[in-house]
Structure formats: C-alpha cells, structure tokens
Amino acid sequence: MGVGIEVTTLNAWYGTNHTLQDINLNIPANHATALIGPSGCGKSTFVRCLNRMHETNPIARVTGTVRIGDLDIYADAKPVEIRRRVGMVFQRPNPFPTMSIYDNVAAGLKLNGFRNHRALDEIVEKSLKNSALWDEVKDDLKKKSGASLSGGQQQRLCIARALAVDPEVLLMDEPASALDPVSTSKIEDLIFQLKSQYTIVIVTHNMQQAARVAEKTGFFLNGRMVEFDSTHKIFTNPSDKRTEDYITGRFG
Amino acid sequence: MTDSAATGLAVLSTLLVIAPLVAIFVYLVFKGGSSLSWAFFTQIPKPEGELGGGMANGIVGSCVLLAISSSIGIPIGIGGGIYLAEFGRGTRLANTVRFTADVLNGLPSIVMGMAIYSLLVYRQKHFSAFSGGVALGIMMIPTVCRTTEEMLLMVPNAVREAALALGVSNWRSVLSITVKTASPGIITGCMLAFARVAGETAPLIFTALGNSNWSINPNEAISALPLQIYYYALSPYDDLHRLAWAGALVLIILIVLAVSLVRYVASRGVLKGAS
C-alpha cells in the first residue's frame, strides 16, 4: 500500500545553484499527485530528492526533512533502503540493454540477493501484468532483450521493473514525454490503475495529462512551489496569479 | 558523383588496410607452409646440425606464458579501468593512474624485459616462465585498463541511474550492470592486449630466455614461439629459417584462433535485439 509524503523546508543545490527553495508539501497516500511548471523550475530535482537520487551527483546538496510514511529518509535510513521503497520511472525509457525482458523486471530483486526462482517468476508476471505489458511479451520473456521493445513498451517495462521491488511510492519524471500519443495514453491508464495501490508523484510538462491523472497538482516556478491544491482548483480557479498565467499559456 | 567518389575512397582505404595483412599471411604460407608437418606440432627442436624437429615446446610455452600474463594483466587492467571510470572520476589518484598507464603503454618492450630482469630474474638468479609472464602481463595492463575505462564511459548514465533507483548498491550496480553492459568492448580490449603480447620477443629474451627442451614449469626457463622464431631466424641454416617461417605462420594462426574462440564464447549469451 502507498504511504503519504511529508516535505518540510526542503532546499537543494547543484554546486552553487540553489535549485529548490523552502519547499513544504504534503503528498497524500494512494493518490496521484502531479507537479507542473516550466523547464528548469526544479520539479525534477524535487522528485529526485524524494528517493535520494539527487545526491548521486557529487556536486549536489540537500537540506530539510522528507518523511515517507513514518520514515525520515534523510535521517533514519540508507539511500539504498529508501530507493527500494520509493520506485522511480525516468523520462527516457532506460531498460538494461544486455538483459532479457525477464531479467530487467527481476533486476531489482536479483541484484539484492533474492534467489527464490518460483517466487521470482510470479513477481515478474504480476509486475508485467500490472504494467499492462504481459500480453505483449509473455512469449519471449527470456529470449528478447529489453532494448528490442518499442519505446512505449520499454517505458512500461521500466514501470514493471520499478513495481517488482514492491515500492510504496512511485515517482515518475515525465514518463510519457518521449512517447507517441498511443503509448502516452497507455501510460496514463496505467497511472490511473496503479494509484489505488501506490502513492504516485508524476512530473509532467503536459497540463492535460496532469488534469487527467492527478487528484492534486503542485505548480513550481524558479525553484519554489507557488501553489499546491486539488487539480480541479489549480486548473479552474488558481489562487495565485502566476499559476493562472502558466496554465493559460501566457508563459512557460 | 561525390557520393561514389567517397565510397570509392573508402573502399580503397579498406583495401590498403587489409593488403599488408593478406600479403604477410600469403608470404608466410609460401615460406613456411612446406615446413608444417605433424612433427612440427609434436616434436621439440633437434640438436644443432640435425634436420627436422618441431616447435611443440614453443607452442606449449607460449600458452603457459600467455596464461600467466593474462591472469595478471586482465584482472589488474579491468580493475584499474573500473576504478578510473566509476569510482575515481576526477580524483588526483585517477589522473595519476591514467597518466601512468599511458606512459606504460608507450614503453618499449625491451625496457620492460630489462626491468623485469633486474627486479625478478637477477634476484632469483635464474630465468623463468614466471618472470616472462609477469613482463607480458604488465605490458597488457595499460591497454586493458584504458579500453575498459573508455567502454565503461560509453555506458549511458541512464543505465547507472536505473540501477541505483532500484535500491541496488553502487558497487553491485557497477559490477552487475555497467561492466556487463560494456563487456563486449572490454573483451575486445583484452583480446587486443593478448594478441599484442603473444608476439612479443624482446621482453622474453631477458626473462623466459627460451628452452630447447620440454618445460612447463613456471620456475624454469621456457620456450616460446616468438623466441624460437627469433633464434632460428638468426641461425645460419636454411632448414631452421624455414622452421622459423612456419613458426611465424603458426603464431598468427593461433592468435586468430584464440581471439575467434573468445569472441564466439562471448557472443553466445547475447539476446535478440540487445545493444
């Protein structure tokens, strides 16, 4: 089941560049939350702070508190433990190119020492079904490389790979921006189904997409969170003038 | 017009690249082919003055030397390459290692032979297969190390991030994901280094020395194909010259066979559509 995320005075830097400034935010459990904003506003950095991927860059720095469920992720746990609880899907599909479809999905478990083959078979099947890819790949699970699939299939493979480690939160950093409209709508359907089991945070450039999949939406601008509210309110009656300007297409 | 001119130029260059190899090979077959017989592969050299004999001990000796050198050069080279690309990026130690590897790569092989002579042979007071293997192994390190680094750097960062985001520890991700993704290129680097030292003579003169009898003992002087070719080529007898040509032919064939075998074994696990 998903858990809520509580962010308090989060600040992040790349070198001397202060990319996130005093972010405070409560993301509800088992819902989809969209983050919108112009390029470079800090929304990708923000989601990377939620699974401590931000700090994999040697010049990056973070301060503040992030609680995921009852875990203070910067105080109580190691990055690897957090990343098993908080899955991530990236902008460009990034399957492991030398691995089969099966091994791609099983990678997170196998590389952490999971050796029960029968259980692994079941998890791979369940994850691929959850990511709506099972029917398309079930005949060549171990024969084909993950890289041989189409872009949209690869992205669903990456979602299956993230789901296989049974996370509580799923972060998606513009998961459909490199995909065609048909693949995009498949990913959106998937988010709709998955949010009953996981807390989903999705960064998107596409405002219609945010409106379609998310209950809550946050608007980021220049490293600050300008407004966070129900998606309906953000898109119909935003409280902040800058949000209104952005969603009506006056800038960004 | 320009397209066909460019194509023609490319084809011409390709032919110029292949021509020396083909020419050498044809010449070797012409000069040494007639001396290739069953005896060549099964007998050791005959005492001076007697006709016949073979290079069985040289072939086996080369195999022993290359086994020793590969088990030194490949692990250290790959380990160094992994450090340079994955852990030491931008550090002073990495820059020093990289610079040293490049210098080592340009070191004349006879200097390597003399260095190992003074470090190992002189102290042990005798020539040995082991010291020859060490000399060749050290010569393999820079090639293996730098190609491993280059190949690892070609692995997209997205692949590393994907592994880290699954909660895989950094060292595990490097060994099981990044190195595996780069492995075809790394294997090519190892084969290049292997093929290069397989034909080295100079470092062996000071270390393995050569041996006209059977020996596979790493602690004794050992024969090697390039050494045998060198000694025979220097001798005044036509018979031995012909054997030297045959030895050169066999050396080239063995290198090609070894490289092809490794490539075949490495390619068996590759999946459909893998890149």
What DSSP state is assigned to residue A146? G
Instruction: Give the start-to-end residue ranges of the domains of chain B.
Output: 25-267
CATH of domain B25-267: 1.10.3720.10
B182 close to B155: Cβ distance less than 8 angstroms: yes
pLDDT tens digits, A48-85: 999 999 999 989 999 999 999 989 999 988 999 999 99
Residue A76 has which token pair? 């109580």
As a whole number, mean pLDDT of residues B28-32 equals 92
Strands across the sheet containing A5-14: A17-27, A5-14, A60-68, A71-72
Q: Is residue A43 part of a domain?
A: yes
Q: Which residue range(s) make up the domain with A227?
A: 5-97+169-247
As a whole number, mean pLDDT of residues B55-69 equals 96
The predicted structure's pLDDT at residue B274: 63
The predicted structure's pLDDT at residue B47: 85
Average pLDDT of chain B is 93
pLDDT tens digits, B180-199: 999 999 999 999 999 999 99
Q: Is residue A34 part of a domain?
A: yes
pLDDT tens digits, B252-266: 999 999 999 998 888
Residue A170's Cα: distance from chain center in Å? Answer: 5
Residues of chain A with pLDDT under 50: none
B81 close to B174: Cβ distance less than 8 angstroms: no
**What distance in Å separates the CA atoms of residue B250 and residue B267, rounded to the nearest whole number?**
25
Which residues of chain A have a CB within 8 Å of the CB of B162? 90, 94-96, 158, 161
Under 8 Å CB pairs connecting chains A and B tally to 93
CB of B177 less than 8 A from some CB of A: yes
What is the count of structural domains for chain A? Answer: 1
**Residue among A85, A90, A145 minimizing CB distance to B162:** A90
Q: Is residue A185 part of a domain?
A: yes
Provide the CATH number for the domain around residue A66: 3.40.50.300
Residue B251 has which token pair? 């050396």
Model confidence at B273, in pLDDT bands (50, 70, 90)?
low
**Could B159 and A161 be called an inter-chain contact, meaning their C-beta atoms sit closer than 8 Å?**
no
Q: Examine the pLDDT at B275 and tell me if it is beyond 60.
A: no
Burial of residue A70 (CB within 10 Å: 0-12, 13-18, 19+) is exposed
Q: Is residue A30 part of a domain?
A: yes
Amino acid B190 reads C
**Residue among A108, A112, A143 minimizing CB distance to B272:** A143
Q: Is residue A159 part of a domain?
A: no
The predicted structure's pLDDT at residue B241: 92
Q: Examine the pLDDT at B272 and tell me if it is beyond 70.
A: no
CB of A243 less than 8 A from some CB of B: no
Q: Is residue A49 part of a domain?
A: yes
Q: Is residue A201 part of a domain?
A: yes
pLDDT tens digits, A174-204: 999 888 899 899 999 999 999 999 999 999 9
Sign of CA dihedral A97, A98, A102, A104: negative
Residues β-bridged to residue A60: A14
Model confidence at B46, in pLDDT bands (50, 70, 90)?
confident
Which residues of chain A have a CB within 8 Å of the CB of B86? none
Q: How many CA atoms lie within 13 A of A33 on its CB side?
A: 26
Which residues of chain B have a CB within 8 Å of the CB of A95? 162
Q: Is residue A76 part of a domain?
A: yes
- Nearest C-alpha neighbor of A157 from the set A230, A206, A122, A106: A106
CB of B175 less than 8 A from some CB of A: no
The predicted structure's pLDDT at residue B49: 76
Which residues of chain A have a CB within 8 Å of the CB of B169? 80
CB of B183 less than 8 A from some CB of A: yes
